[in-house]
Amino acid sequence: MPRTQTYLAPAKINWFLHITGKRADGYHLLETVFQKIDWFDELRIRPNETGLILLQGDLSGVTIEHNLAHRAASALKAYAQTQGKDTGHLGAEIHLRKNIPTGAGLGGGSSNAATVLTALNQLWQLHFDNVTLQTIGLQLGADVPFFVSPHPSAYAQGIGEQLSPIELPARELLLIKPNVHADTREVYQHPLLVRDHVPLDMGASALSEQLKILNARTTLSNDMQAAAFAIAPKIKRVHDTLQHLVPHAYVRMSGSGATVFACPQNSAERDALNQWLKTCPEDWQHRWCHTLAE
């Protein structure tokens, strides 16, 4: 019998997120830099020949049919069928252990989907290349292709699917998530959303150099912040608190929220953040993480 394999699905942050326009089909055009961090969900996957895809574990109130891990397995199987592969017998038992909070802007669900795609591609011996898996993943979410890719960090354009590897150092971050949820669709529809950011006039290499020095003077922004702050004022409170504690540090919201991160520049800023954590509101989830690098 096939053995159960264990996989770690990392979270990510967005160092910035610019919205530069909107396509005719309604999808927003983005510029962002993703970087994976050392906070992981755990998936245990066992292939079988029942033809059934079973998902158990920490589903966070999401129905199985809407869970991205289950949808990824179904999408991979459906695509394989269109390529003339015999898929009727392909099945799997997937157990999900959630550590990354949902609704956090950290991409936990997308990372789960990407992990299932890459794992079952191997376990089912489908032999699709990474670009094909990214294309399947894009049907599930704009940041799934990044998680499918082997890159720890990437400059993403288009709707998130145009990826350019970017070299960034490992850094320590403090992540704070208040006990609120900013619905991504609601953020995109909010009148305060910036929708016309002038596109960056630089390639991945120049952007990499700019991102190696991050502080409060860095002009790269998250165009979703104002809308998310209006929808869930606690996110703004977290942002303003961190900015007050370390006024010279780089502080941004990740994705569409609700997580805000601070990137301390030195031990004094780190100590100030640690001192504040002793009195941090109990319903603000916090975690020190490191970004992943080559």
Q: How far apart are CA 48 and CA 14, in angstroms?
A: 37
Which three-class secondary structure string do you get for 96-162?
EECCCCCCCCCCHHHHHHHHHHHHHHHHCCCCCCHHHHHHHHHCCCCCHHHHHCCCCEEEEECCCCE
Record the tokens describing residue 122, joined without a space.
């191997």
Active site residue 143: yes
Handedness of CA 166, 135, 102, 77 (dihedral sign): negative
Q: How far apart are CA 199 and CA 182, in angstroms?
A: 26
Record the tokens describing residue 21, joined without a space.
């326009």
Do residues 178 and 240 touch, judged by C-beta distance below 8 A? no
Nearest residue to 248 via CA among 214, 279, 224: 214
Q: How far apart are CA 185 and CA 195, in angstroms?
A: 14
Active site residue 86: no
The catalytic residue among 36, 41, 77, 143 is: 143
Q: How far apart are CA 243 and CA 216, in angstroms?
A: 9
Record the tokens describing residue 83, joined without a space.
């390529």
Q: Give catalytic residue positions.
A: 12, 143
